[in-house]
């Protein structure tokens, strides 16, 4: 007697609805407008109304997507991001070492940020140049520093919850969070300076591996394959 083979259906992600696609397109238009205007005029000379007008939407619509012009400029750097990172650090992959979880969570977070920037259209290197110009603005630097401080605090709180510690009495979560944010900041600066020729997620992944290994002088972090080389290799195949 032949035993029937039971095939389990493969789960597929449903395609986004027309409404979801329109919302995503509006979000991208607002981000692109914010990057362009701040790079051109400076943060102090750009208002929410300016960004909304450039994206051909109302200020009310702007606030449906971003809480501030700084959030529109940084994209993924919104209040929900800190809360999401805190939860993932606290609960993802139970039993795994803290540094390993941080490597996975922050590499994915950074790659999502890079993918969002590429989704704006045009040459990604142009957007990176605009972002670099924008970050020379003192007001932008201040807003970004404040955001990174919130991210660092969220990571520390997530680590504390994960290991059952108290950030007020145990320095470990805050020390690890500070190191993690330092790694992330350095990788983002390097990635932007490269014009996006490196995979940001891979760069952060390798940086955390190097950190866990004691930052060896000769290691994989110093031998990353540029994105354009990977693309060329695929084309040849």
Q: Is the pLDDT of residue 46 over 70?
A: yes
CATH code for the domain defined by 17-74: 1.10.10.60
State residue 55's pLDDT score: 95
**pTM of the predicted protein model:** 0.75
Q: What is the pLDDT of residues 76-108, one digit of tens each?
A: 545 578 899 999 999 999 999 988 999 999 988
Residue range(s) of every CATH 1.10.10.60 domain in the chain: 17-74
State residue 229's pLDDT score: 43
Secondary-structure class of domain 76-236 per CATH: mainly alpha
Question: Rounded to an integer, what distance in angstroms lies between the CA atom of residue 51 and that of residue 73?
Answer: 10
Q: Is the pLDDT of residue 61 over 50?
A: yes
Are residues 176 and 98 in contact, defined by beta-carbon separation less than 8 angstroms? yes
Question: Rounded to an integer, what distance in angstroms lies between the CA atom of residue 62 and that of residue 48?
Answer: 8
> What are the angstrom distances between the C-alpha of 43 and each of 38, 57, 70, 113, 212?
5, 20, 8, 21, 38
More confident residue, 6 or 80: 80
Residue range(s) of every CATH 1.10.357.10 domain in the chain: 76-236
């Amino acid at each position: 007697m032949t035993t029937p083979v039971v095939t389990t259906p493969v789960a597929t992600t449903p395609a986004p609805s027309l409404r979801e696609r329109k919302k995503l397109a509006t979000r991208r238009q607002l981000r692109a407008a914010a990057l362009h205007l701040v790079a051109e005029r400076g943060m102090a000379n750009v208002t929410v109304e300016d960004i909304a007008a450039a994206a051909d939407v109302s200020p009310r619509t702007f606030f449906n997507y971003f809480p501030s012009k700084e959030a529109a400029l940084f994209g993924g750097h919104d209040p929900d991001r800190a809360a999401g990172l805190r939860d993932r650090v606290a609960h993802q992959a139970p039993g795994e070492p803290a540094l390993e979880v941080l490597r996975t969570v922050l590499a994915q977070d950074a790659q999502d940020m890079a993918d969002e920037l590429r989704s704006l259209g045009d040459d990604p290197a142009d957007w990176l140049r605009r972002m670099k110009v924008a970050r020379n603005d003192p007001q932008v630097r201040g807003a970004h520093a404040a955001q990174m401080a919130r991210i660092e605090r969220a990571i520390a709180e997530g680590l504390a919850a994960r290991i059952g510690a108290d950030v007020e009495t145990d320095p470990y979560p805050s020390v690890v969070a500070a190191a993690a944010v330092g790694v992330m900041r350095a990788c983002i600066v390097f990635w932007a300076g490269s014009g996006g020729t490196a995979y940001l997620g891979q760069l952060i992944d390798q940086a955390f591996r190097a950190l866990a290994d004691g930052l060896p002088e000769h290691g994989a972090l110093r031998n990353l394959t540029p994105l354009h080389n990977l693309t060329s290799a695929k084309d040849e195949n």
